[in-house]
Amino acid sequence: MPEGLIVKALSGYYYVKDDEALPGEASVQCRARGVFRIKGKSPLVGDRVTYALTENGEGTVTEIHPRSTELIRPQVANVNLAVLVFSVKEPDLSLNLLDKFLVHIEHEGLDALICLTKMDLIDEDDTAAREAVENAKALYTSIGYEVLETSSPQGVGADQLRERLQGEISVFSGQSGVGKSSLLNAMFPKLDLLTSEISLRLGRGRHTTRHVELVELGNGGYIADTPGFSQLDFLELGVEELGSCFREFAELSEGCKFRGCTHLHEPGCKVREALEAGEVAESRYKHYAAFYQEMKDKKRRY
């Protein structure tokens, strides 16, 4: 039986892009077998499935292949890469917000690509802005993240990002007004994303996601196109999980004197020792402590 990828789910139908289909070719409208509802497992956008064609030209999803990841908001399977888009100017780069996004990305188990946009807005004589970007790039690269500098008007970084998205199911997220649509249009003009937002909805937002759709990039890659999120919060993350969402803390914490060390006040804390030795960035530790307090405060209110 044919196999394919669910690229859209809407009103009880699943739209499957057949593995043998050409780029831009229409997907097959399918229903799901009732056995999935009985088992409590419904197909998701991003699922690789086996399906059977019916006499009316539609299809029936008969098997859901194993998933590598499964996000709750948006409800999408097999996403492996989150592209975090942050501008260096207008608005200025916010490392606090970047670290908050990274916490959620780490919690979801996704790879992250930090994409710094609007590099063309930094004047040649603006050494302070250039130094801030270089320091941020050096910091996150040292932690193990991919960092890419881009400029949509100049086309800087477009080829590298296009290549990175090839064959991946990705989500785009980041600050508002940073030029996510402009960046994607520069790479893939046929998308024509003039007003739409492509973003990963993390945390508990105020708006309900109506449906998720995978946008085909034409290079074997897809991007999850979902309604945007309204805010990031930590209600779905346990405070004891926060430390593991800071990559450089995770390995150090294994040497802490106390199991379940919060890295805030306990003696024999390897994270604080590394901080004092300059091996952990002050900004990262400061944001960790602020997020920890924010999580504790939210738990008290709910």
Binding site residue list? 117-120, 174-182, 256, 261, 263, 269
Give me the sign of the Cα torsion angle 224, 81, 286, 175. negative
Give how far Cα 111 sits from Cα of 162, 168, 204, Å.
Answer: 16, 11, 21
List the binding residues for GTP: 117-120, 174-182
Amino acid at 155: G
- Separation between Cα atoms, residue 140 and residue 99, nearest integer Å: 10
List the binding residues for Zn(2+): 256, 261, 263, 269
The burial class, CB within 10 Å (0-12 / 13-18 / 19+), for 90 is exposed
Give how far Cα 57 sits from Cα of 4, 31, 47, 146, 232, Å.
Answer: 16, 12, 21, 44, 43
- Separation between Cα atoms, residue 240 and residue 126, nearest integer Å: 41
Strands 28-32 and 59-64: parallel
Helices 95-108 and 282-301: angle between axes, nearest 10 degrees: 70
**What are 184's two structure tokens?**
């994607």
- Separation between Cα atoms, residue 276 and residue 291, nearest integer Å: 20
Beta bridge partners of residue 48, listed in sequence order: 5
- Separation between Cα atoms, residue 264 and residue 277, nearest integer Å: 16
Q: Coil, strand, or helix at residue 63?
A: strand
Beta bridge partners of residue 226, listed in sequence order: none
